[in-house]
Chain A
Amino acid sequence: MGDLQAKTLHELADLLATGDCCAEEITSDVLAAVDDRNEGLNAYIDLDAERALAEARAADDARAKGDARPFLGIPIAVKDVLNIKGQPCTCASAILKGYRAPYDATCIGNLRRAGFSFVGRLNMDEFAMGGSTENSVYGPAHNPRNVEYVTGGSSGGSAAAVAGGLAVAAIGSDTGGSIRQPASFCGCVGLKPTYGRVSRYGLVAFASSLDQVGPLTRDVQDAAILLEHLSGHDPMDSTSIDQRAPAFRAGDATDLRGMRLGMPKEYFVEGMDPDVAKSVRAAIDICAELGAEIVDVSLPHTEYSIAVYYIIATAEASSNLARFDGVRYGARVSGEDPIELYGKTRSAGFGNEVKRRIILGTYVLSSGYYDAYYLRAQKVRTLLRRDFEEAFGRCDAIVAPVSPSAAFKIGEKVDDPLQMYLGDVLTVPANLAGIPGISVPCGETSGGLPIGLQILGPDFGEEAILKVAHAYERSR
């Protein structure tokens, strides 16, 4: 074949079922593509070709003996933030150098049971902190559409691998837009599930109340397939909820008659790239042509979302990352006493953006500031959530841009962290409110860089957003 890595999961499942290809062939094609093009993209940061092929052969044997699982042996790639037993898990950080996961994340176990295998680990912003995958100890990932441009982040390696044809599909994580934004920048599909739908056990925590694991894929159907297998209640995660994932099938969505789509005026921000605004509006027009009723909605507290996010996320992160101290795992720089050991290990091990956020998070929780910052931010978070509840009373899904801009040049914003943060204004609200969101490609800038359409749904409203996304995708 030679091009199997460019197919979708559902196409490969069909080919496997008819015997027109085998897992080993798919894996070989993936490995060949990585060999050929990863250096230019820096999407993968770890790969074990021998192990991947051995797993593929074992899957083919099992299929020959009657194991009829549709996705058995299909290799997917995983953001370097999830524990997969026996594999390194560095979160693109020097501080986890040498760490090998002693256990599988629950969602990984779920995918394993469905027959998927894990071919390699993908580049990311260190500890998922960033919007460009430039904060990586392995160097930046490059946008497949134009290698001088960023992939977006923090799941930049995941988006680049899928959009660049180096992976059939990828698993990422989204705390403030880290699946949706890189999907938008690179030109693939990216889904953030409702908070609680996918177990976080085994996901290295950035912000506990915001993190979710989700798929980056070539099409909407693949995202639905992976969502179904990723999801489910996990007794090891007290924040995971028992909600069956929608059994979404492609045929379920061809038109959008009867659906009301909300267009939030606050999301077409001043200073937004006109190409992005134009492309997204055109996509919404198509949705209208497909039968949806477009209604105006307002999310009045949107302007506070960045402040709220960067207070809550950094506060939780400052605490979650305290465990990286060189005592029990990872890299260690010795000291005369514990304080010195911690200081030296963490100074050497963490990158600048991580340090910046830890300090910010420590500050907003500190005595005398907690009420003014953290507590207040949580209150405004409730207002942000109420905005959505109100809006979903008048529509079934919200359509909007993913980001005020498309990909920017590598190095362009590294010296201006606040500028970088402002790019998250349209994605962080979904994390703060806990609602699901998907990004689906809807065009490109005059410079040829991809643009994504964001569709947001109410709690556990993945079915609605997949329906809109798929119908739109089909129409292109």
Chain B
Amino acid sequence: MSKSVTYEPTVGLEVHVQLKTQTKIWCGCPNRYGNPPNTDICPVCMGYPGALPVLNARAVELTVRAGLLLGCDISRYSKWDRKNYFYPDMPKNFQISQYDLPLCVGGGLEIEVGGEKKRVSLTRIHLEEDVAKNTHLSGRSVIDFNRAGTPLMEIVTEPDLSNADEAMAFLLGLKEILSYGEISDCNLEEGNIRCDINCSVRPVGAAELGTKAEIKNMNTFKGVHRALSYEIKRQTAEVLRGGEIVQETRRWDDGGGVTQSMRTKEYAHDYRYFPEPDLVPVRLAEESIEEIQSKLPEMPSSRRIRFVESYGLPEYDAGVLVAEKEISEFYESVARLNHNYKSISNWIMTELLRALSESGKSLSASSISPEALAGLIDLIDEKKINMAGAKEVFQTLFDEGGDPAAIVDAKGLSQVSDQGAIEAFVDQAIQENEKSANDVREGKDKALQFLMGQVMRLSRGKANPQVVLSLLREKLGN
């Protein structure tokens, strides 16, 4: 291959999403994460002799909801098929999935990267069951079947993505919809979203796709970005060298920063699909689809508009608050209790997001309640505490919870606004810092800041800064 040919990557994703249902897809076992191994199981999800599957209607409902939100055609008739292969994480050694007639067809998502908008088309969305979880210990492997039978929605994109940034934007956009749509908890640590990457390269302008390699089971978005960036480089370098891409499955080695060919014994991928004889096809009535449509949860774009209109917030604020569903809901809970809408927004955008980022916790794992934040803002508005003190109280609320007024008392953070008390500190500061006082009289602002600091120090941070400032100005004629 001549080096003067440039290559472009084409990327498609297969995203597996665990649905937010109460129970598993074929049985009544709880759909829960984190229980002791092999406790959320029954003959059905364990593949015991004689067990049969029964469809969880809610899993279908959530998949249809996803299809509607992503602009897919909802199939009025779809069916189940057996995908046959042997592996220890498969209780039946076949997976019940959908082969040729999936629940949703087509659809797409608009992404924006570097200021440019692009539409990523979907091929289809179908429903299937998740497999059990293998863990490899030294010398043996163990299997936890709690996850087996979790309803899994598979979203397949067309090879419309061109680079790692676009893949990331797609995944983030998808997560926003799934989260707002209450379709999945989208908790990556719990494995709610996993994705397979299909990547190939071709000469720019070529009609056909190049040979693709598949990187399976990515479970973080950053991992996807890193793996895809590497794989694109690898494939491009390979073809520029005159080599050929092998159609294969590769593993992302995050530590080493490379994808590796999986030279494990590959089963011939003949899944011998045939219609699942234990289940009837899914026939969706128009009324059912209409009902799901009518009950769609509020999506980010609508919520952003509503935040601007109802709370009078700037568009920027609305954008930040709505970016995470949990955060926007927290905002609204506080706003029900406290009508200082802009103040609430400021506190969330600065202090709350900072605390979440620093601690690595999720909002639900933190201890701060909407009532607490509302109360704290009231204390500031009533001038019972200054900003420095308020930030300290906030951190305590975040880490330990509690009532803001009680924390203020316990820590002795009540703001001193009493003119007389502050005047004493101001006089003391002026007396102890003659030079600075003179500088202020001469109009040097820096000296004013310094004296303010001294007063705050003397008052152990409790003096009301506005009162301090006005007293200093008054006494020093600034």
Contact = CB atoms under 8 A, between A and B. Distances in A.
Same complex origin of A and B = yes
Contacts of A322: 84, 86, 92-94
Name which of B47, B51, B91, B274 has the most chain A CB atoms within 10 A of its CB.
B274
B274 A238 contact: no
B279 interface: yes
Interface string B255-294: 0000000000100001011100111100000000000000
Contact of B50 (A203, A209, A319, A337): A203
A3 B27 CA distance: 46
Given A236-B54, A367-B272, 13 more contacts: A83-B48, A101-B50, A105-B50, A201-B52, A207-B277, A238-B53, A322-B84, A322-B86, A322-B92, A323-B91, A329-B48, A329-B49, A339-B86
A327 B143 contact: yes
B49 A319 contact: no
Contacts of A366: 270, 272
Which among B82, B143, B265 has the highest number of chain A CB atoms within 10 Å? B82
A296 to B, nearest CB: 34
Contacts of B93: 322-323, 325
Interface of B: 43, 46-55, 82, 84, 86-88, 91-94, 143, 265, 270, 272-274, 277-280
A339 B265 CA distance: 9
Contacts of B84: 318-319, 322, 365
Contacts of A102: 43, 48
Contact of B86 (A83, A237, A325, A370): A325
A396 interface: no
B29 to A, nearest CB: 13
Give 4 closest A-B pairs by Cβ, nearest first. Answer: A322-B93, A208-B277, A365-B272, A209-B277
23 contacts: A89-B49, A89-B50, A91-B49, A103-B48, A201-B52, A203-B50, A207-B277, A208-B278, A236-B54, A238-B52, A238-B279, A238-B280, A239-B52, A239-B277, A239-B279, A322-B92, A322-B93, A323-B47, A329-B49, A337-B265, A370-B273, A370-B274, A374-B274
Interface string A310-338: 00000110110011110111000000011
B327 to A, nearest CB: 41
B43 A103 contact: yes
Contact of B274 (A204, A205, A319): A319
A202 interface: yes
Contacts of A365: 84, 272, 274
A68 to B, nearest CB: 32
Contacts of A325: 86, 93
A71 B356 CA distance: 67
Interface in A372-388: 374
A201 B440 CA distance: 90
Contacts of A328: 46-48, 91
B161 to A, nearest CB: 29
Contact of A204 (B46, B50, B53, B279): B50
Contacts of A338: 86-88
A118 to B, nearest CB: 15
A204 B301 CA distance: 52
A411 interface: no
A350 interface: no
Interface centre among B47, B52, B143, B279 (most CB of A within 10 A): B52
A374 B94 CA distance: 18
A239 B88 contact: no
Contacts of A139: none
A82 B49 CA distance: 9
A4 interface: no
B131 to A, nearest CB: 13
B274 A239 contact: no
Nearest to A315: B274
Given A367-B270, A374-B274, A239 B86 contact: no
Contact of A323 (B54, B92, B273): B92
B85 to A, nearest CB: 9
A52 interface: no
A6 B46 CA distance: 41
Q: Which of B49, B273, B279 is the most central at the interface, judged by chain A CB atoms within 10 Å of its CB? A: B49
A397 B280 CA distance: 28
B272 A362 contact: yes
A96 B54 CA distance: 25
A470 interface: no
A44 interface: no
A309 interface: no
A205 B277 CA distance: 11
Nearest to A361: B272
B83 to A, nearest CB: 10
A311 B86 CA distance: 22
Nearest to A207: B277
Given A323-B91, A339-B265, A370-B274, A238 B46 contact: no
A200 B51 CA distance: 8
A249 B274 CA distance: 42
B94 A319 contact: yes
Nearest to A363: B272
A327 B86 CA distance: 11
B94 A202 contact: no
A421 interface: no
